[in-house]
Amino acid sequence: MAVYQATASAPVNIACIKYWGKRDTKLILPTNSSLSVTLDQDHLRSTTTSRADPSFKHDRLWLNGEEEEIKDGGRMATCIAEMKRLRKEEVEDKQPNEPKLSTYPVHIASFNNFPTAAGLASSASGFAALVSSLAQLYQLPVSPSTLSVIARQGSGSACRSLFGGFVAWEQGTKPDGSDSLAVQVAPQSHWPDIHALICVVSDDKKGTSSTSGMQRTVETSPLLQHRIKHVVPQRMVDISKAILDRDFDAFAAITMADSNQFHAVALDTEPPIFYMNDVSRAIIALIVEYNRVSVAKGLGRKAAYTYDAGPNAVIYTKKENVKEIVELIVKYFPQKEGSFKDVFGLFGGADVAKSEGSVVEGFNEAVAKKFEVGAVKGLIHTKVGDGPRALGKEETLLGDDGFPK
Ligand code: DP6
């Protein structure tokens, strides 16, 4: 008996122009376009194996080894149903000899290589990996943009993880959502020295989820209306140009302004939503001062911070500046041993936890206070990466019996 099974991995993406607000909550259609950088799957990824088998009783899903219920009419069920529909329409209806995989139940196992405790949203990479593995399983002759329309219905930001490099999610105008999809602005190879430093900020309070937070913003924030009508459209044009021109100064200015405005509309929500904390704000102060020094030297901005729906900072910079920025963060946020994995060998095997850190010449050290060990509990260094990958049999997450290994 033939085994119909496929494994794919998909990347995390971090937006520079933030998606915040839906005009259709069921189809997940946004109130504005957004744009992100895809991060390298060598460091952060979701891996998913899907198998279709007529002997399976019903569709089932395991996340990091634990079975998750696939709720009727829920986002997961919608994505699976949409993928089966594409299989039927694009393959089985056109080539009647192809096996009717769309009628078989599927078993799906997914694994994130980064801990949930890292505070990184896994829904984007997770739904992108799900859709990619099913597309491979079903041998779908469709583009990543078509797949992005389906991933979008799992989690809005997931649609941008269908491409590598620099990716726009065009909001679209059609009520059915068929033109609300991701497109690649530039591949990874266009600007490969864009690196990212994720500062994992310790957080014990349970925050407001993106899904419910953004809906409250849509219902109550007058500032959001200004943002979607008068700010984001021009920013999408400007940041795309900055990327195509490899103009880091402009890229950084727009990225930081958009992060600030996203947190401003969160604050403008009734009741207000706070995602950043004192540590997040201190990191902003450090990056602002670091940029002030480099602008004064005529070098333009060298770093851009951005924050999603939580306190973690993501700092974009060019490869040549990462070491300086790690030193800066370590100076104010002393690290525990092993909290920074030096995957690019910047420190030649030395543990930065042992370092005092340092600031660049001319830096005003009084812009922030020194925090206690653990305020920033880890640093993840990564860079712009490629889109979903098809993986071989060695990487499969399902055993011969069709259950998680
Ligand atoms: C702040 O994509 O997680 O990260 O569509 O409801 O699943 P749902 O929301 P989600 O929201 C992401 C919000 C953000 C900004 C962004 O990634 O653009």
Q: What CATH number should be reported for the domain holding residue 257? A: 3.30.70.890
Q: Which atom of ligand 1 is nearest to the CA of 30?
A: 5
Rounded Cα–Cα distance for residues 405 and 109 (Å): 9
155 lies in the same domain as 250: no
Is ipTM over 0.95?
yes
Residue 377 in contact with ligand 1 by CB distance below 6 A? no
Whether 207 and 307 map to the same domain: the answer is: yes
168 and 202 both lie in a single domain: no
The answer to whether residue 47 is domain-embedded is yes
Q: Do residues 130 and 227 share a domain? A: no
How far apart CA 81 and CA 87 sit, in angstroms, is: 10
Evaluate whether residue 405 is within a structural domain.
no
pLDDT digit string (tens) for the chain, length 405 residues: 799 999 999 999 999 999 999 999 999 999 999 999 999 999 999 999 999 999 999 999 999 999 999 999 999 999 999 999 999 999 999 999 999 999 999 999 999 998 776 778 789 999 999 999 999 999 999 999 999 999 999 999 999 999 999 999 999 999 999 999 999 999 999 999 999 999 999 777 778 999 999 999 999 999 999 999 999 999 999 999 999 999 999 999 999 999 999 999 999 999 999 999 999 999 999 999 999 999 999 999 999 999 999 999 999 999 999 999 999 999 999 999 999 999 999 999 899 989 999 999 999 999 999 999 999 999 999 999 999 999 999 999 999 999 999
Name the H helices within 221-321: 222-226, 232-244, 248-267, 278-296
Site of tokens 């040549």: 320
Asked whether residue 108 is assigned to any structural domain, the reply reads yes
- On whether both 129 and 13 belong to a single domain, the answer is yes
Q: Are residues 315 and 304 in the same domain?
A: yes
Q: Is residue 404 part of a domain?
A: no
Based on the domain organization, do 172 and 78 belong to the same domain? yes
3-state secondary structure of 391: strand
The pTM of this model reads: 0.97
* Total structural domains within the chain: 2
Starting at the earlier edge strand, list the strands of the sheet with 313-318: 303-306, 313-318, 194-201, 376-383
Domain range holding 230? 194-383
151 shares its domain with 50: yes
Residue 183: inside a domain: yes
CB of residue 19 inside a 6 A radius of ligand 1: yes
Q: What is the pLDDT of residue 299?
A: 97
pLDDT given at position 115: 77
Instruction: Examine the domain organization and report whether 230 and 90 are in the same domain.
Output: no
Cβ–ligand 1 contact at 23 (below 6 Å): no
Cβ(211) – ligand 1 distance below 6 Å: yes
185 alpha carbon – ligand 1 mean position (Å):
19
Q: Which residues contact 54 (CB under 8 A, 6 or more apart)?
A: 103, 104, 105
DSSP secondary structure of 311-330: S-EEEEEEGGGHHHHHHHHH
Distance, CA of 303 to CA of 325 (rounded, Å): 8
CATH number for position 61: 3.30.230.10
Question: Which residue minimizes the CA distance to atom 14 of ligand 1?
Answer: 308
Q: Which protein residue has the closest C-alpha to ligand 1 atom 3?
A: 210
Same domain, 267 and 345: yes
Q: Residue 130: CB partners within 8 Å, gap ≥ 6? A: 48, 50, 76, 79, 80, 108, 110, 151, 154
Is 226 found in the same domain as 160?
no
User: 155: Cβ below 6 Å to ligand 1?
Assistant: yes
CB distance 79 to ligand 1 below 6 Å: no
Letter for the amino acid at 99?
A: P
96 within some domain: yes
- Does 402 reside within a domain? no
CA 130–ligand 1 middle distance (angstroms): 17
Same-domain pairing of 166 and 202: no
The best mutation among 127, 157, 267 to test binding of ligand 1, ranked by most ligand atoms within 8 Å of the C-beta, falls on 157
Out of 12, 13, 18, 19, mutate this one to test ligand 1's pocket (max ligand atoms within 8 Å of CB): namely: 19
Which residue's alpha carbon is at the smallest distance from atom 7 of ligand 1? 155
Residue 305 lies in a domain: yes
Q: Give the separation between CA 365 and CA 368, rounded to whole angstroms.
A: 7
